[in-house]
């Protein structure tokens, strides 16, 4: 889950890498560093914390050959020693890594026996020393060392001898492009935005070598092969906060525009018609994702099973992968991922492919691995989402799954109420200050609901946990009394989603149960719904179609989490211990 940006260009390469690295901070921000090839040899500069800590160095250094890295720590605490790049003990190679070397402990022992004592706690430094100890040219060293490494990696390596950068990858993304600044290797094509017309996704059996003005690609036998480029696509103005202090607020406030875009793009049915054949002759549907995307899967599973007469179930990718799943050619896998790069989700796609099952991606990033791997795609058109907490992308995912289910239920279904959804969503981008203060002062919060509302409860709680660091539990309202209600004390806030009309009375019973144990109840429901005077109310515009009301219901809760996080003095865009894109298992 780290970001890699490397350049062979002119003397300003450190500055250009810095600019690229800033765009990759969504992949992790525990530490940042760069290695420069200079007349004096390889120079390393690294710092704990954000990429901005490299700015002075990058803007005051010169080198044509630079590798740089922003880290999300896996092995070894996020300090300066463990920051990348690492330099080999013979000072000939420097390396940055995204991924996990699973057999690093065993390799470390072997290195120690040979007298090589790594200075960091990382698996990445071990990989570097394994490469360094191989015989031959740098290409031969890399080729032979890769056979000894288990796990996932995107490596970029400076080789002092050949004055070149080597790039290889397995289950971690790495792209290369000839840009106006030189030849660039990076974890994401956003680094090439406005600098290149085309890019190449490094293939898993390729070794890339970049030297001054030259880009060479070798196959696994080190035979040079030709390069196929893909046209660059618009990846949005990712660095622009449009006057907002935080991306997260900007992204929540973009939701009406996102809804409008989705409804208009899906209105002509072309996108959905392309995937309709995926639903022919299947026996079950499995929806897979992680975190917020998993919640979208739950939503999708419920929607699809309500219109198709087959089993539709949602699974957490990291659980599904190791659960001996039953997949046949008649199983359809739907993979939901904002980034399209989440390692656990990608791992599951491979299982489906092995069994000859059909795969469908629901994603926001169209150049991502998920789109490359799946047989079909449903784009969610949310636009670049930078805040670590997913907001507009979640709304987009569930809306797209909703539109899919409507079409599958009735191919002639005309969007009518859906056309009003964007305007209705504008009305819910607000939150009562009193509720914000109540949550800010609480050490635990419960979110409850039934049916679709129980999924919103999970998602609302996840938002609060991840950016405000308040213990929050999302729970089905009917299940509370079977144990969890023991945690309700005087003053505990309980946020109750109540958009499902047929379940309303039952949901209200849960409100009474927690209220009589001292809870402060906040009900998320349609404006005209009657609730007790002492309950707080988060009002939603009424929708005839209650699934649409439920889609709207999460928006004020996203804003609540944002306001609480900001109010407590945290940075909602960069919550601790997290990264936007989780590219390790
Ligand atoms: O890019 P993905 O949608 O695959 O990411 C999945 C999760 O890591 C992500 O939704 C995560 O849970 C968010 N930080 C939640 O806000």
Question: Is there a shared CATH topology between the 3-231 domain and the 242-426 domain?
Answer: no
Q: Is 31 in the pocket of ligand 1 (CB under 6 A)?
A: no
Measured by CA distance, the residue closest to atom 14 of ligand 1 is: 389
Q: Is 293 in the pocket of ligand 1 (CB under 6 A)?
A: yes
Per-residue model confidence (pLDDT) at position 378: 98
Residue 548's CB is within 10 A of a number of other CB atoms, namely 23
> Ligand 1, from 247, 293, 386, 455: best to mutate by most atoms within 8 Å of Cβ?
293
- C-alpha 463/C-alpha 427 separation (Å) is 20
Give me the residue label for tokens 């990076």.
Answer: 186
- pLDDT(235) > 80: no
Instruction: Compute φ and ψ for 233, nearest 5 degrees.
Output: -120, 165
Per-residue model confidence (pLDDT) at position 240: 74
Per-residue model confidence (pLDDT) at position 414: 92
Q: Is 296 in the pocket of ligand 1 (CB under 6 A)?
A: no
191 DSSP 8-state letter: G
| Nearest ligand 1 atom, CA 338 | 3
- C-alpha 21/C-alpha 482 separation (Å) is 49
Residue 236 banded pLDDT, cuts 50, 70, 90? low
- pLDDT(200) > 80: yes
Per-residue model confidence (pLDDT) at position 241: 84
Question: Is 580 among the residues known to form the active site?
Answer: yes
Is the CB of residue 200 less than 8 Å from the CB of residue 191?
A: no
Q: Is 297 in the pocket of ligand 1 (CB under 6 A)?
A: no
Q: Is 466 in the pocket of ligand 1 (CB under 6 A)?
A: yes
Residue 239 banded pLDDT, cuts 50, 70, 90? low
Share of the chain above pLDDT 70, in %: 99
Q: How far is CA 84 from the centre of its chain?
A: 22
Q: What is the mean pLDDT of residues 325-353?
A: 95
Q: Which of 2, 312, 374, 525 is the catalytic position?
A: 2
Please name the residues in contact with 209: beta carbons below 8 A apart, sequence gap of 6 or more. Answer: 138, 139, 162, 164, 165, 166, 167, 215, 216, 217, 218
Share of the chain above pLDDT 90, in %: 91
Q: Is 499 in the pocket of ligand 1 (CB under 6 A)?
A: no
Question: Is 515 among the residues known to form the active site?
Answer: no
293 DSSP 8-state letter: H
Please name the residues in contact with 10: beta carbons below 8 A apart, sequence gap of 6 or more. Answer: 64, 181, 182
Measured by CA distance, the residue closest to atom 11 of ligand 1 is: 291
Please name the residues in contact with 217: beta carbons below 8 A apart, sequence gap of 6 or more. Answer: 200, 206, 207, 208, 209, 224, 225, 226, 227
Q: What is the mean pLDDT of residues 117-138?
A: 96
- pLDDT(1) > 80: no
Measured by CA distance, the residue closest to atom 4 of ligand 1 is: 337
CA terminus-to-terminus distance, the chain: 10
Measured by CA distance, the residue closest to atom 12 of ligand 1 is: 291
Cα 293 to ligand 1 centre (Å): 6
Measured by CA distance, the residue closest to atom 7 of ligand 1 is: 291
419-444 pLDDT, tens digit per residue, is 999 999 999 999 999 999 999 999 99
- pLDDT(237) > 70: no
> Ligand 1, from 29, 288, 290, 361: best to mutate by most atoms within 8 Å of Cβ?
290
Residue 252 banded pLDDT, cuts 50, 70, 90? very high
State the chain's mean pLDDT as an integer. Answer: 95
Is the CB of residue 150 less than 8 Å from the CB of residue 143?
A: no
- C-alpha 161/C-alpha 138 separation (Å) is 9
- pLDDT(396) > 90: yes
52-85 pLDDT, tens digit per residue, is 999 999 999 999 999 999 999 888 898 999 999 9
- Given the candidates 3.40.50.40, 1.10.8.80, 3.40.50.300, 3.40.50.10490, the CATH classification of the domain at 427-572 is 3.40.50.10490
Strands 376-379, 331-337: pairing is: unpaired
- C-alpha 289/C-alpha 294 separation (Å) is 4
Vertex 381, ends 377 and 385: CA angle to 5°?
115
Q: Is 370 in the pocket of ligand 1 (CB under 6 A)?
A: no
Per-residue model confidence (pLDDT) at position 486: 94
Q: Is 388 in the pocket of ligand 1 (CB under 6 A)?
A: yes
Residue 265 banded pLDDT, cuts 50, 70, 90? very high
In sequence order, the β-bridge partners of residue 198 are 231
- C-alpha 20/C-alpha 17 separation (Å) is 5
346-389 pLDDT, tens digit per residue, is 999 999 999 999 999 999 998 888 998 999 999 999 998 999 99
Q: What is the mean pLDDT of residues 313-326?
A: 95
Q: Is 558 in the pocket of ligand 1 (CB under 6 A)?
A: no
Q: Is 345 in the pocket of ligand 1 (CB under 6 A)?
A: yes
Q: For domain 242-426, is the CATH number 3.40.50.10490? A: yes
Q: What is the CATH number of domain 3-231?
A: 3.60.20.10
In sequence order, the β-bridge partners of residue 9 are 182
- pLDDT(580) > 90: no
Per-residue model confidence (pLDDT) at position 583: 78
Cα 390 to ligand 1 centre (Å): 6
Helix (H) or strand (E) holding 130: helix 123-132
Is the CB of residue 253 less than 8 Å from the CB of residue 385?
A: no
Three-state secondary-structure class, residue 102: coil
Cα 463 to ligand 1 centre (Å): 11
Domain positions in the chain are 3-231, 242-426, 427-572
310 or 268: which leads in pLDDT: 310
Give me the residue label for tokens 């191989």.
Answer: 134
91 DSSP 8-state letter: S
Burial class (CB in 10 A: 0-12, 13-18, 19+), 410: exposed
- Helical H segments across 133-214, by residue range: 138-146
Cα 338 to ligand 1 centre (Å): 7
Per-residue model confidence (pLDDT) at position 156: 98
508-522 pLDDT, tens digit per residue, is 999 999 999 999 999
């Amino acid at each position: 889950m780290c970001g890699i940006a490397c350049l062979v260009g002119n003397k300003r390469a450190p500055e250009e890498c810095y600019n690229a690295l800033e765009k990759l901070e969504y992949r992790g921000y525990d530490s940042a560093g760069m290695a420069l090839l200079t007349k004096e040899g390889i120079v390393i500069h690294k710092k704990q914390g954000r990429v901005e800590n490299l700015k002075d160095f990058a803007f005051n250094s010169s080198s044509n050959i630079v590798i740089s890295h922003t880290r999300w720590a896996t092995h070894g605490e996020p300090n300066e020693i463990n920051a990348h790049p690492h330099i080999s003990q013979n000072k000939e190679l420097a390396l940055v890594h995204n991924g996990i070397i699973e057999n690093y402990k065993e390799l470390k022992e072997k290195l120690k026996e040979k007298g090589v004592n790594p200075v960091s706690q990382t698996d990445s430094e071990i990989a570097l020393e394994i490469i360094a100890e191989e015989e031959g040219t740098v290409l031969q060293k890399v080729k032979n060392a890769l056979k000894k490494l288990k796990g996932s990696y995107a490596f970029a390596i400076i080789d002092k001898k050949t004055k070149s950068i080597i790039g290889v990858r397995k289950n971690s993304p790495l792209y290369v492009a000839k840009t106006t600044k030189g030849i660039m290797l990076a974890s994401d094509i956003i680094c090439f935005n406005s600098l290149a017309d085309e890019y190449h996704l490094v293939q898993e059996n390729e070794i890339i070598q970049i030297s001054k003005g030259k880009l060479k690609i070798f196959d696994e036998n080190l035979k040079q092969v030709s390069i196929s480029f893909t046209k660059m696509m618009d990846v949005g103005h990712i660095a622009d906060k449009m006057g907002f202090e935080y991306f997260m607020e900007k992204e929540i406030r973009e939701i009406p525009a996102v809804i409008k875009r989705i409804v208009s793009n899906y209105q002509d049915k072309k996108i959905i018609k392309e995937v309709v054949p995926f639903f022919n002759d299947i026996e079950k549907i499995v929806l897979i994702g992680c975190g917020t995307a998993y919640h979208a899967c739950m939503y999708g599973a419920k929607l699809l099973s309500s219109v198709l007469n087959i089993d539709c179930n949602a699974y957490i990718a990291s659980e599904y992968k190791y659960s001996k799943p039953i997949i046949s050619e008649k199983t359809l896998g739907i993979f939901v991922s904002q980034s399209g790069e989440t390692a656990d989700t990608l791992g599951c796609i491979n299982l489906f492919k092995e069994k000859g099952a059909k795969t469908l991606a629901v994603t926001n990033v169209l150049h991502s691995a998920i789109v490359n791997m799946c047989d079909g795609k449903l784009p969610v058109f949310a636009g670049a989402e930078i805040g670590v907490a997913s907001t507009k992308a979640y709304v987009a995912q569930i809306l797209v799954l909703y539109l899919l289910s409507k079409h599958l239920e009735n191919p002639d279904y005309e969007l009518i109420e859906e056309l009003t959804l964007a305007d209705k969503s504008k009305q819910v981008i607000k939150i009562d200050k009193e509720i914000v203060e109540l949550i800010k002062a609480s050490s635990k919060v419960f979110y409850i609901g039934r049916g679709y509302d129980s999924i919103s409860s999970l998602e609302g709680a996840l938002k609060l946990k991840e950016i405000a660091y308040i213990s929050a539990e999302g729970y089905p309202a009917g299940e509370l009394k079977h144990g969890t209600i023991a945690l309700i004390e005087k003053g505990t806030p309980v946020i109750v989603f109540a958009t499902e009309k047929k379940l309303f009375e039952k949901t209200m019973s849960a409100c009474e149960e927690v209220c009589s144990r001292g809870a402060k109840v906040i009900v998320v429901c349609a404006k005209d719904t009657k609730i007790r005077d002492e309950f707080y109310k988060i009002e939603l515009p009424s929708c005839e179609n209650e699934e649409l009301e439920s889609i709207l219901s999460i928006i004020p809760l996203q804003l609540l989490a944002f306001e609480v996080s900001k109010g407590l003095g945290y940075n909602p865009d960069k919550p601790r211990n997290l990264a936007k894109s989780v590219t390790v298992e």
